[in-house]
Amino acid sequence: MKLSMLAAAAAAVLAAGATAMGSTASPGARSAVPATARATLAVHAAPTAQPIVGAKQGAWGNAHLIPGLAALAKNGSQVNQVACVAAGTCTAVGDYQGANKHWQAFVTDEKNGTWGAAHPIPGLATLSRGRDTTTDFVACAQGPNCAVIGFYVSASGHHQWFAANEKNGAWQTAIPLPGLAALSTGSGDDPSVNSLSCVPGSNCVAVGSYTTLTNSHHPFIAAEKNGTWQRTIQVPGINGLNANGDVEAEADAVACVTSGDCALAGSYHDQVNQTLPFVADEKGGTWGLPRPLPGVNSTNTNGATPTAISCARAGDCGITGNYRAPDNSRQDVWVADEKGGTWGPFQVLPGLVGLNVNGDAEAVAISCRAPGFCSAGGTFSGPFMDPPGSQQAWVADERSGGWDIAQQVFGPTINTSNVTRLNSLACGAAGNCALGGSAAGGAWTLIGNEVDSSWGNARRVPGIAVPAFPAAVTSVACVSSGNCAAGGYFGDASQHVQAFVADQSTVTSTALTLSAAKIRSGHEQTEKLTVHVKARTSGTPSGTVTVKAGTATVCVIKLAGGSGTCTLRASQLRVGSYQLTAAYGGSQVYSASTSARHPLTVTK
């Protein structure tokens, strides 16, 4: 999606009566549901559950431009998606507009907390012959091994999808997604890739749709096995879902947990031509037949589609999506869970209908890090719409298999306006997540965190001046509590739109300095030990550092401004050689770290 399409609408007046992020909402509370939305849909409230506690908060560092991108981008750039495999080991993909005014795809890798130079994907220029290209999806499973999927514009003006792999840190030549062009024989819509998921061993699955000569839509699966992309296939058994055997369906989202164990969600047309969700599971490398999601049909909705899926482990997944009221008067959000390989019923997301008084809600993302513990987010239309189409962001948590009521995302308030949009959500652990989006009608970037099952108010990304229209966080990725990455775009002072990346990290480094490497016994007090603890991203670590000689504690230092000192006591150490280390114990924000060893000799 290009920059002109991403710019948000102007700010709207803050919707009153919403549940604020950071406030306490009792589990199981339920908002009123208008009659047009009730029908016979089930609303399952969350049981009382203990919050997940003890997670590190981490600290967001300043956003920074991607190295090397300025030399490529002459007329704008943006990050489309970010993926991470470890704290400080991530990949970002996006687009830039070159001197020839065409959009071109780029990729950049982060290693040990440092982002490398952006570069085009090898072989893509040959495929596109200078026409527009984009990278829409990136997924990484382990180490420097990722996959990207995007499209290039063919000579006939159609979108052709490509895939490219990273192997041991080196990006391989892009190739057309095998078999997709041969399947896509229709003259209508171009094929579309909607989702990508990867697991260790260079095994990925992409899903989407294509059209045939009859211009009907068919769902497809494209799989990479051991580093090689296989021929794209239609979702097995999809013909059995559609009325009279006529296929009109698409695959919307996929999530994999191990090689050969995935789940996908899609939509199909039933016997009355109503759009309804279906699910399918892959087990041991074989896809089962797609089946309608329980609990939803053409009598209790006027159509429903999935938008996102996430799996905590094989057979335990969550889905979210959108549905129309039976009288087609409004759009709201639904959720569903798979437990032990069995999909539960479609259900209305508690609380959101009450917030969504103007009837235009959307599910954007879901992230599940443990069975029965998911977080989801999206947008809704509040009571005031100025201008029409202005929306606010929402988040909701599932705990122990039940969903709490949805909460409005509150961000920085500008002139009494609190218009926010959620573009991405990811969890590093159950109850510990991050969101990204925009605020104030696209003038501010927006980032927010949930810690120990409690969402705080969102804020702008550090280091980006405001207003910076157009501006947004387009993607967030998290690998553990407090360790995330974000990417997006912002308008600088020269009105150039620039791609950026930012990191949230709990990582620290501890340094120990000795005033002397050799001291005399009985004069240990002349030895001064100095420690410095530094955060990878931002902020000043607090807490204590324990200095040890071998396994024996020498002193405990309380940090002030990230540093501290101590002196040894006379005759504290016997004559001999020692290895001194300094261990920072961590804090609510930062993780523990230990210095390198430093030799100390005590002589007679």
What is this structure's pTM? 0.89
Q: How does residue 571 score in pLDDT terms, banded at 50, 70 and 90?
A: confident
Residue 46 domain flag: no
Q: pLDDT at position 242, please? A: 73
Largest pairwise CA distance in the chain: 96
Q: Residue 470: what residue type? A: P
Residue 560 sits in which domain range? 508-603
The tokens of 332 are what?
């709201």
Cβ atoms of 393 and 421 closer than 8 Å: yes
Residue 295 domain flag: no
**Taking the CB of residue 219, how many other CB atoms lie within 10 A of it?**
27
Residue 570 domain flag: yes
Residue 442 domain flag: no
- Say what percent of the chain tops pLDDT 90: 75
Residue 593 domain flag: yes
List of residues 6+ apart from 67 with CB closer than 8 A = 108, 115, 116, 117, 118
Q: What is the pLDDT of residues 67-83, one digit of tens each?
A: 999 999 988 999 999 99
Name which of 279, 327, 319 is nearest 299 in CA terms: 327
Can you tell me whether residue 243 is helix, strand or coil?
helix
Residue the block writes with tokens 């209305």:
348
Beta strands in 302-458 (DSSP E): 304-313, 316-324, 331-339, 342-343, 347-348, 362-370, 373-380, 392-399, 402-403, 407-408, 420-429, 432-439, 444-451, 454-455
List of residues 6+ apart from 167 with CB closer than 8 A = 145, 202, 227
Residue 299 domain flag: no
Task: Say yes or no to pLDDT of 32 above 70.
Answer: no
Cβ atoms of 97 and 103 closer than 8 Å: yes
Residue 127 domain flag: no
Task: Say yes or no to pLDDT of 63 above 80.
Answer: yes
Q: pLDDT at position 214, please? A: 84
Number of structural domains in the chain: 1
Tell me the pLDDT of the chain averaged across its residues.
Answer: 88
Cβ atoms of 275 and 249 closer than 8 Å: no
Cβ atoms of 472 and 461 closer than 8 Å: no
Any idea how long the chain is? 604
Name which of 306, 294, 232, 301 is nearest 266 in CA terms: 306
Task: Say yes or no to pLDDT of 598 above 80.
Answer: yes
Q: pLDDT at position 162, please? A: 97
Q: What is the pLDDT of residues 481-534, one digit of tens each?
A: 999 999 999 999 888 899 999 999 999 999 999 999 999 998 989 999 999 999
What CATH number has the domain bearing residue 520?
A: 2.60.40.10
> What's 158's DSSP letter?
-
> How would you label 10-20 residue by residue, b for 16+ Cβ within 10 Å and e otherwise?
ebbbbbeebbe
What is the separation, in whole angstroms, between the first and last Cα of the chain? 73
> From residue 597, how far is each of 396, 541, 548, 551 by CA, in Å?
46, 21, 10, 12
The tokens of 189 are what?
């819509």
3-state secondary structure 494-563: CCCEEEEEEEEECCEEEEEEECCCEEECCCHHHCEEEEEEEECCCCCCCCEEEEEECCEEEEEEECECCE
Q: Residue 238: what residue type? A: I
CA distance 490 to 530: 41
Q: How large is the average pLDDT for residues 569-592?
A: 95
Beta strands in 98-234 (DSSP E): 103-111, 114-115, 133-142, 145-153, 159-167, 170-171, 175-176, 192-199, 203-211, 217-225, 228-229, 233-234
Cβ atoms of 375 and 364 closer than 8 Å: no
Residue 572 domain flag: yes
The tokens of 592 are what?
């523990």
Q: How large is the average pLDDT for residues 261-281?
A: 94
**What does 57-99 look like in DSSP terms, one character per residue?**
--EEPPPEEPTTHHHH-SS-EEEEEEEEEETTEEEEEEEEE-T
Q: What is the pLDDT of residues 249-261, one digit of tens each?
A: 999 999 999 999 9
Q: Exposed, middle or buried, 568 (CB in 10 Å: 0-12/13-18/19+)?
A: buried
